[in-house]
Structures are given as structure tokens and as C-alpha cells.
Amino acid sequence: MTYPTPAEPLKIGTRGSPLALAQAYETRSRLSKAFDLSEEAFEIVVIKTTGDDRTLIDADKPLKEIGGKGLFTKEIEEDLLSGKIDIAVHSMKDMPVAQPEGLVLDTYLPREDVRDAFVSLNCSGLADLPDGAEVGSSSLRRRAQLLHRFPHLKVIEFRGNVQTRMKKLGDGVAEATFLAQAGLNRLGMNDVPATPIEIDDMLPAVAQGAIGIERRGDDNRTAHMLAAIHDIPTGQRLAAERAFLAALDGSCETPIAGLAVLEGDQLRLRGEVLRPDGSEVISDERVCSIDDGAALGEAMAKDMLAKAGPDFFSWR
């Protein structure tokens, strides 16, 4: 097998945000070490997606109204299919459950902290916020979970990278917001006034904290190389979580949370589906053998759908 060289590098496609680049650099570093190759044998290719084009995207509109998760993957996957890049690095919580024909997503790096982080310049936690305080979030899940537990708070649309969100907080647009703790950790942003929220208080998004690497299905060399850096426990957890999401027909229109953890030879899956206004939440928690995680995720989702009934999803 011929491995990549500086003259003919393996091309790693990514968005251009600081977090996306940090994830691409981590992928490059792991591949370099696994095969004792120089980092110059791997080329980082920044791809601008529709979701990154501020002339097309209204930052004050909910993501579901402007195209959903595919806004941040379409161009990258097109370049992967055409051969312009060899692999694509993604934040798994932002990935649709189905890939375009010809692409495979089966490599995951070791998962980071799965928790959400509460971020505020003035308060240390949600319980400290006064009645009517405005909390900024673009996540339907976080909005619904917040309103379910703290109905006295007001939620406003709030998007952008860490720097943009911190400026908005400084300008008084909102009193607080949320970020993924994993992103803060990967960026080394210890100066952000963030407090991790325990999962019992805010169950995270499916696959939060995980990096996924997508490839062409017929690229055997790349499949071989990616197998060397795949984290099996993360893959086992995501198999259950993404099966749960897929069976719920998960999209940007539905507030869904899910988390699988490994406990010896067993897997524990927790899941939630909420009304967007937080007025109702349906949750479940089950345990199975690790190998049965995907089947458990699908079965649990179907039972939750039956329990919810058709009226639960009347907003969609």
C-alpha cells in the first residue's frame, strides 16, 4: 500500500472555523503518529459551506428555518465525492443521520466532555438568573430544556462562534448563553466564564463531544488508515445514540437529547424528546449489552414515539 507523501498528500476537508480547524489538526496529528508520517503528508483543505456565507445566512433566524444541518456539510461532501478531498472531519452532533450515497462515516476520535456549558459574565448558573432574564441559544434542544426547567426565563435566538457570542453577552444582548464544553476544551479557552452543566440537569445532544471522519466508500487505502485511529468505545456509544436519533426522525425541527455510556460490558442509554416550548418532555433510560446498542436505541425511540402520540409533534 502506498501512503501519502508531502508531494501527494492525503487531503483533509474541513470548515474554516477555529473549532473545525482544531478538529482537523487533531485528525492530522493522529494519522501522522499512527503511520509515522510527517504532517506535511496531510493537507488541510478549508471549504466554505453555505452555512458559513454570512451574505446568505441570517444570524438571527433559527437554523431550521434556513436549511438545517445540511447547510454546514453539503459543499464538503460534494468535494469528497468528487475527489477534491480524501476525508472530511465533522462535529458529530451537527451531522445528519444519513450520508449521501457513496460516503461512509464510521471513524470517530476519542470523545471529549459531552456536557453543555453555561456561559455568563454575571451569573454562575441558571438558578442565579432573575425572572425574565434573557438567555441566548440557537439550539431547539437547549431552548426546550431550559424552558422546561426554568419557565420564568426568556429565550432569544443566539448564533455565532465563541468570540461572537461573548461579544453579544458583553453588549447586553443576553444575560447568558450555552456552549459545548468539548469545543471550549479543544480550543483551550479556559478564560471563557463557563460552568459545565451536569447531564442530569441538561441531557446533551446526540453525539455531542465526538469528532467523526467521513470517507468515500470505495477508498480502501483511506479506510485502512482511518481504522488505525478509530476509537471503538466512542463508536459503540454513537451507534446507540444515532440509531435513537434516526428512529425519532431527528432533525433541526425536533428537540432531542440522548447519551450512551459504557458500564463494563453493558451500555446505558438515556433519551429525551421535548416540545419546543418546554411544556412537555418524554424521557426513557435503558441498559443492554454493548453489541445491542443500536437495536436498543431504535426500540427505545419507537416506544417513546408511541407514548408521545401524534399530537406531541403537532408543531412540525
Alpha helices in the chain (DSSP H): 18-34, 74-82, 140-149, 162-170, 181-187, 220-227, 232-247, 293-308
Residue 249's pLDDT is: 77
For 194, what's the count of Cα atoms within 13 Å in the CB-facing half-sphere? 23
Measured distance CA(129)–CA(33) in Å, rounded: 46
- Per the annotation, the verdict on 94 as an active-site residue is yes
Q: How many CB atoms neighbour CB 312 within 10 A?
A: 16
For 308, what's the count of Cα atoms within 13 Å in the CB-facing half-sphere? 23
Residue 72's pLDDT is: 72
Mean pLDDT of the chain: 91
Q: What is the pLDDT of residues 290-310, one digit of tens each?
A: 999 999 999 999 999 999 887
Q: What is the pLDDT of residues 147-168, one digit of tens each?
A: 999 999 999 998 888 888 899 9
- CATH fourth-level superfamily of 116-196: Periplasmic binding protein-like II (3.40.190.10)
For 283, what's the count of Cα atoms within 13 Å in the CB-facing half-sphere? 16
CATH number belonging to domain 241-308: 3.30.160.40
For residue 98, what are the contacts with CB-CB under 8 A and spacing of at least 6? 246
Q: Which of 58, 79, 94, 218 is catalytic?
A: 94
Q: What is the pLDDT of residues 129-149, one digit of tens each?
A: 999 999 999 999 999 999 999
High-pLDDT (> 90) share of the chain, % = 81
Per-domain boundaries in the chain:
10-110+209-230, 116-196, 241-308
Residue 260 pairs in a beta bridge with 269
Residue 1's pLDDT is: 85
CATH of 10-110+209-230, one of 3.40.50.1110, 3.40.190.10, 3.40.50.2020, 3.40.47.10: 3.40.190.10
Three-class DSSP labels, 94-122:
HCCCCCCCCEEEEEECCCCCCCEEEEECC
Q: Can 116-196 and 241-308 be said to share one CATH topology? A: no
Residue 71's pLDDT is: 66
pTM over 0.85: yes
pLDDT at 53 over 70: no
Sheet arrangement for strand 211-216 = 42-46, 10-14, 87-91, 211-216, 103-108
Q: What is the pLDDT of residues 68-79, one digit of tens each?
A: 556 678 899 999
